Every structure is written in structure tokens, then in C-alpha cells.
Amino acid sequence: MAVVVNRKSLTFWEKLYLPAIVGGLKVTLKHAYNTLFKGKVVTMEYPEQKWTLPPGYRGAPYLVKDQEGNTKCVSCQLCEFVCPPKAIRITPPGDTGLKADRTNAEKMPAEFEINMLRCIFCGFCQEVCPEEAIFLQQDYSLTALSRSELIYNKEKLLSLGGEVGGIQKWKHKLEEAKAQENFPVKP
Amino acid sequence: MSTAATTEIKPAPPVEKIKVKVDGREIEVPKTMADPISGKPIPTTMIQACELAKQEVPHYCYHPKLPVVGNCRMCLVEYGMPAMGPDRKPVLNADGSPKISKMPRPAISCATPVSPGMEIYTNTPGVKQMREGVLESLLINHPLDCPICDQAGECKLQEYSVDYGQSASRFVEAKVHKPKAVDLGPRIMLDAERCILCTRCIRFTRDIAGDDALGIVNRGSYNTIATFPGLPFDNNYTLNTVDICPVGALTSKDFRFKMRVWFLKETKSVCTSCATGCNIIIGSREEKIQRYTPRENDAVNGPWMCDAGRLNYKWIGREDRLKDVLVRGQKSTWTAALNEISDKLKKAPAGSVAIIASARQTNEELWLISKLKAKLGAISDSIPRDGKGDKILVSADKNPNTNGARLTGICFTEMGINLVKISDGIASGKIKTLIVFGENIVKRAVANEKLRERETISEVVDEHGITAELLQKLDTLIVSDILPNETTKLAHYVLPGAAHAEKRGSFTNTKGRVQKFMKAVEAPGDARAEWEFLHDLVHNVTGQNGFVTIEGLFNQMAKEVPAFNGVTWQALGDTGLTVQI
């Protein structure tokens, strides 16, 4: 429903126009003075200088490894499914014979690609990941000389992502299973 | 094993109906229903009555096509019976309706017969609590493997946990760990931890496949599915156990870790590996076929299919598929090649053309070929492909559309008897032009039993006399095929065709059931469905314009071919219609 907002009509001083100009100039001159003589800078030399990003900032998603250097992703493809711009493409291990870093996790992706040109940094992949294997990190300005360079593959994503530890559920499962070694049937 | 899965269901004599109430709604159910194994009438159970009333009762061990064991307890329901007075007469309420006395304990609906006046309650607080309890007990030792489990997305444990389970687990102790990735057989992998011991696989392989290969070993929470020591689980129906496994305990080695099921586009199709024509669902993603699964059709295959047929899909995505139209070895276009071919055919004197069609082609394509044949006065036949059948599903005839070739007049009842005439005709120089569809006629191998290892369909041909030397005597050799082979190498015109998964059409199976199939993936390169270019060719040669849609083509064929009279594409439905053969 359209709402008509009644604007207040200008007062006499406002109609004069010049006082506002003077007011504006005062601000400008104040900043000019502060910058020139007091060294209080309000702009940044952007590519050289960068913002300190607040925690929780949603930058580019990267794959991470656990504290023992194992790939955490198990190729469940939930991020691929949930990704709104369809930026993620995972090639499951299938019959490639690729073994997972953690043997009892059974699988990890043969290839994992994120098209950073498509990615909208929404964070759904991080939210949906059951393995805490993908995190939106601090990079927001990704550049390349060609489109194909901005399709990051598994290797690149893992190297950029670094290490994010966690509860290591697979390790604990393995330890639990080993503690029950007396299980009557061996595979 | 009964042949119930493969034979037509005979019209059963009318069965006495009884009235029961499901959640307050009265329905009539037959007093007996056929036993899935023996086919003998056995009393209708409550779960069947609930299904007839369209009331879902969650279940794991119960399967409509398997014997009932009642071990999962998931289908517990409460029920009541008309109360009997001391005079053995029903006690009536004030309004004259029979008084129902609710039974004090629940019953498993899969194994409890219905009786007249029974009331079944599937949604009471008690039933809900029991389901929660059963699920909690099943989940005690079930690993949280969903991210790495192939069943995720089609897992009954996932589904029922969401629908009927508790939101949180109370279990804090260590789970019992059982062997994972156990090699059960050449096509089956077992994850013992995930198993909920419903014994569907055991009953299937014992009662349907007739190979009592599986059993449960060990006791208590160490219960594990196992084969006999040293004996692999290896019959031609093992992969059905993967389908019926409600959890991810049994997984297909072929499909293992290949694709998550929620990405698969499901297309209704028909298996082409033999003349039985099992109904299948093709699971594909991004123009790549990932798996076949059986589609239930009680008139053909029930809910099962054989392993050989299920795994016979890899040739469709092969890299060396024929992708280009070739005219004397040079890449050409469809228009140019078809024009050239139709000019030649139009000039060909009657009797100088022979056609070898394939009983792997669809009814519509064979019918178009028969039109071409009539116009050219050509001699035609198809190549039989005999193998070994079994008593369950596999037919000895490895051509999916032998009856289609017979009904459209491409071959006689005994397929292949014209091949001698064709080879003689070529040798004597009478036949100058040979058109071959989807058959590698040069290869003279006898159909072997290594169906499982085979990746192509174009390799198995019965013996006959049309050799490569004879083919070189021809003026024109037109070959349409899917994969390159010796015959396509000799051909003057190579027309790349489409696999059944890349086109629509219909097959007539060994019992005369006409079944249609849908297109799952695109044909590679320039390859085209045979019926599309056959349609153009028939138009160019005979001057008859036909239908450019498969529906129109089928309906036209149904009008002209006596056996198909009265059948329409629409009427085929998903499960097909049986015609007189």
C-alpha cells in the first residue's frame, strides 16, 4: 500500500541555501586540516592496506584439514546440493580407488571444485557440512587473469583453507572400534 | 522359487470380503490374499489392510513380495475387536453398533490377520511411543555414517527417524562396532554396523533367488549378516538385496561412492539385456547414466531384476561411440547423407536391396523399416541372439524386441532364416545394397555367457554366412550402429544411432507385452535416434509423410500392424499392455 509521506516544507534559513553550503565546507575543511596536519586519515590505500575483518566475516569458502593434516571432506555432496548458485562441483571417488586420508571415513572427493565467479559467499556450504570440512574464510577479493583460474580445485582449496581442528569423530570411532577388538568376526 | 514374479497374474476367483476399520474409516478388504512365494491364498494381514486404506504403517522387515517374519517390530499397531458377551453374541452399544473392546497389547500388523469388524489404530499415542522406542533401539548401535553412506537419501531409517523418531539420542555409551566394508560377493559390499537385521536379504536370496547363501551369525548385539565361510554371495540376483535393504548395510560395489542418490534424474525405462523386458529406472546425472534400478511391474518382473541386466549400461557412455555421420569414411551431415542414400534407394531395382534390422530396435523403428522394405521389395531379416535363460527372470533370447521384429514383418517366426538368402544374394551379385541396423554382422561369435563382463551390446551375434569378403562385393553398404565395429568400418554410409536410454520408443517382450521407455540422456555428437532419421528416409524414398513424434508414430503403427490394433501410446502407461503374439 502506498503511503504518502508529507515532507516538511523548508524553513526560511534552509531556503537561503548558503548556510548549508558553509556547514558542508566546515566539515570538509575540518577533515582536510586533520589529514594534513594531524595525520588523522579517513581513507585507505586499498590494495596495499586492508581492513581488519571482524570475526565471522563471510569470505571465500575453502576446504580445511584437521589437526593431523587429513582431508576432512568425505564427499557427501550436501554443499553441492545446497549451493544456491551451483558453484560447487564434486567428483565422488566412485571406482577410482581413491582412499580417504582417515581410513575409516571410507571416502573423500576425487575432485572438489568451487567456481569463485559463481560463489556468492552465502555460507550455506559451511552450515550444511556434517564434517566441518568447509569454512568461509577471510578472502574477499579474488583475482585472476582468466575465468578458469577462478575455478579452484581440491588441491588449491585445501592449501588455502589451512587447518581447522575439531572433535575428530572418525578418530574416536576408530579408537572405540579398536577397544572392541574382541569382536568375534573379522572382515 | 515360484514363477509368480514372471508370469501374468491370473484372474483369481472372487474372494470373500470382510469389513475392517482403519483409524475409524471402514474399508472392505479381501479375506485372503496371495502368498508372495507360493501364490496360495493366505489371510490378509493388518498391514495389507492399512495399505488398502492408504494409511502408511512404517516397517522394515516386512516386504510385500517376501515371506513375513515380523522381527523389526516397527509396524506395531493397536487394534480392537467386537466384544463378545457371555452368550457368545456381539455386545452392542446403545446405538446398536457393535461394542469394540480394545486389545490390551499391540500387535505387529505385518503378521496379524484381519478379522471381521476389527478396528486398527495406527496413530494413537501408544503406537507413536512404540515407534519411538523401536527406532531408539535400532539406532543404539547404528553408526552416524550418513555422510559416507550410499543409502543416505533413500534410507528408511533416516526417513522414519525424521517422521516417527525422537529428536535426540539418550545413548551415551560406546556403540558396538562391527566390520565395515565386508566383501560379501563380487557385486555386494556389507557394512555390518549399519545392518538392522531385518533379514530381507536372507529371505530374498533364499525364497526368490533360490540360493540360500546368507544367514545371521553371532549373538546379541554382535549379530551379523554373513555368507557361509569361503562362499561368496554370487548369484545373478544379488543386487536386488541392495534395493530391498532398508538401510545402507548392503551396497552395490558398482554404484558405491559414485553419486549421491538425490542428484539422480529418474527415467522410466526398460532393460534391453534380454527379451524379458524388466522395467527399470535409469538414474542419470548430467547426461551420464549412473545406475539402473528395477521398477515394479507385476506383469513382468515384480520388483526385481537380474545383475547382468542391471550392470549392462556402461557401453552407453563409452568414449568411442559413433558420433559422426560418415560417407565413405568422410565426415558428412545428416541431410547430405540421407539425400544421397534415398537417391540410391529410389533408383535401386526391386529385389536388389537387403535389410538386416536388429531386434534391439524399437517397434516404431522396425515398423518404419518394414515400410522401406515394402517399397523397395527388399528381403529382410534380423539376427537371433540366443543365450542362457533361467527360471526367474532371464530369458534365453537376448534380443529385447524379437516379437516386435516378428510382428512388424521384419523377420519370420524363426529369426535368421533369411540370412542365408541374403548371403547367397550378395554372392551371386543379385543384392547390391545392404542396409544394416545395429548389428555387427561380420563378427560371427556365438553368444557367450560372459554377460557380466561384457560392456557392449554389439558383440554377440549368432553364426551366419555374411562375411567381410561378401560385404566388399556390395555396391552400397549402409550401416547404422551405436558403437564402432568391423561392419561400420566396411560401411559406405555410417549413421550413428542412439541407445535405448537416449530415445523414446517401445519394445514387445517375450510374452507380447508392449512397454514404452523414456529418454534419460542425450545422444553424443551427431548421433540420432534411429526412428528420427528412418522417418526422413521413409519420407524421401516412399513419399509417405508420417508422424514426427514418437506418440504419433506409435499410434499410426498400432493402426496398421494388426497385432497392435487398439493400442495407443497413452494407453501403454508405465507398465505396458499385453498383445496377442
Q: What is the DSSP string of B232-287?
A: ---STTTHHHHHH-SSSSEEETTTTTT--GGGPEEEEEE--SSTT--EEEEEEETT
CATH class of residue range B138-316: alpha beta
High-pLDDT (> 90) share of chain B, %: 71
Q: Report all structural domains of chain A as residue ranges with CATH numbers, in order of start.
A: 15-43 (no CATH), 61-171 (3.30.70.3270)
Q: SS3 breakdown of chain A: % helix, strand, coil, rounded to 5? A: 35, 10, 55
Query: Which cell goes with B453?
Result: 563382463
- When the pLDDT of each residue in chain B is averaged and rounded to a whole number, the result is 89
- Give the global pTM: 0.86
With contact defined as beta carbons under 8 Å apart, do B291 and B254 qualify?
yes
CATH number listed for the domain at residues B321-503+519-567 = 3.40.50.740
Split at pLDDT 50, 70, 90, the class of B543 is confident
CB contact (8 A) between residue A176 and residue B263: no
pLDDT at B449: 36
pLDDT at B268 over 90: yes
* CA B137/CA B139 separation, integer angstroms: 5
Judged by a CB distance cut-off of 8 A, whether residue B262 touches chain A is yes
Split at pLDDT 50, 70, 90, the class of B478 is very high
> Residue holding cell 588523522?
A40
| Closest to A82 in 3D by CA, of B262, B152, B145 | B262
Q: Which of A81, A176, A187 sits opposite B179 (nearest CB)?
A: A187
- CB of B175 less than 8 A from some CB of A: yes
Percent of chain B with pLDDT over 70: 94
Say whether pLDDT at B426 is over 90: no
Residue B481, beta-bridge partner list: B496
Put simply, whether A79 touches B (Cβ < 8 Å) is no
In chain B, count of helices (H) and strands (E)? Answer: 15, 26
Per-residue pLDDT of B211-235, as tens digits, reads 999 999 998 888 999 999 888 999 9
Contact B256 A185 (CB under 8 A): no
B453 pLDDT tier (thresholds 50, 70, 90): very low
Q: What is the pLDDT of residue A105?
A: 87
ipTM value for the complex: 0.82
- Give the per-residue pLDDT at B573: 92
Determine contact: B180 vs chain A, CB below 8 A: yes
Q: Where are the domains of chain B?
A: 17-123, 138-316, 321-503+519-567
pLDDT tens digit at each of 187 positions of chain A = 789 999 999 999 889 999 999 999 999 999 999 999 998 888 888 889 888 899 889 999 999 999 999 999 999 999 999 999 999 999 999 888 888 888 888 899 999 999 999 999 999 999 999 999 999 999 998 999 999 999 999 999 999 999 998 888 899 888 888 888 765 545 4
Helix (H, G, I), strand (E, B) or coil at B536: helix
The pLDDT of residue B12 = 58
Query: What mean pLDDT comes out for the span B507-517?
Result: 94
Per-residue pLDDT, B416: 79
Report residue A125 CA to chain centroid gap: 9
What are the strands of the beta sheet with B433-437, ordered from one edge? B330-332, B325-327, B493-496, B476-481, B433-437, B353-357, B379-382
pLDDT higher than threshold 70 for residue B447? no
More confident residue, B193 or B453: B193
- State the cell numbers at A85: 548458485
Whether chain B has a CB inside 8 Å of the CB on A187: the answer is yes
How close A95 gets to chain B, by Cα (Å)? Answer: 7
Give dist(CA B62, CA B73) in Å, integer: 10
Compute the distance between CA of residue B256 and CA of residue A1 in angstroms, rounded to an integer: 56
Q: Within an 8 Å CB–CB cutoff, is residue A81 touching chain B?
A: yes
Distance in angstroms (rounded) separating the CA atoms of residues B433 and B476? 5
* Contact by Cβ (8 Å): B512, B580: yes
Whether the per-residue pLDDT at B442 is higher than 90: the answer is no
Is the model's pLDDT at B51 over the cut of 50? yes
Looking at the domain that runs over B17-123, which CATH code has it been given?
A: 3.10.20.740
Contact B257 A106 (CB under 8 A): yes
Q: Which of B147, B254, B262 lies at the smallest CB-CB distance from A81?
A: B262
CA-CA-CA-CA torsion sign (A25, A30, A33, A34): negative
Q: Inter-chain contact B177–A183, Cβ cutoff 8 Å?
A: yes
Nearest CA in chain B to A186: B179
Q: Which three cell numbers stand for residue B338?
A: 540421407
Q: What is the pLDDT of residue B3?
A: 43
Alpha carbon distance B3, B208 (integer Å) = 9
What pLDDT score does B393 carry?
93
pLDDT at B14 over 80: no
Q: Which residues pair with B495 in a beta bridge?
A: B480
Class of residue A182 by CB neighbours under 10 A (exposed 0-12, middle 13-18, buried 19+): exposed
Nearest chain A alpha carbon to B264: A81
Sort A122 into a burial class: Cβ within 10 Å, 0-12 / 13-18 / 19+: middle
B220 touches chain A (CB under 8 A): no
B106-152 pLDDT, tens digit per residue, is 999 999 999 999 999 999 999 999 999 999 999 999 998 899 999 99
**Confidence class of residue B205 from pLDDT cuts 50, 70 and 90?**
very high
CB count in 10 Å sphere of residue B126: 15
> Does B348 or B7 have the greater pLDDT score?
B348
Q: Given this model, what pLDDT does residue B11 score? A: 60
- Number of residues written out for chain B: 581
Q: List C-alpha distances in Å: B516 to A117, B157, B501.
A: 43, 34, 12
CA nearest neighbour of B242 among B316, B285, B297, B305: B305
A81-95, B367-381, B421-435, B439-453, range with the lowest pLDDT: B439-453
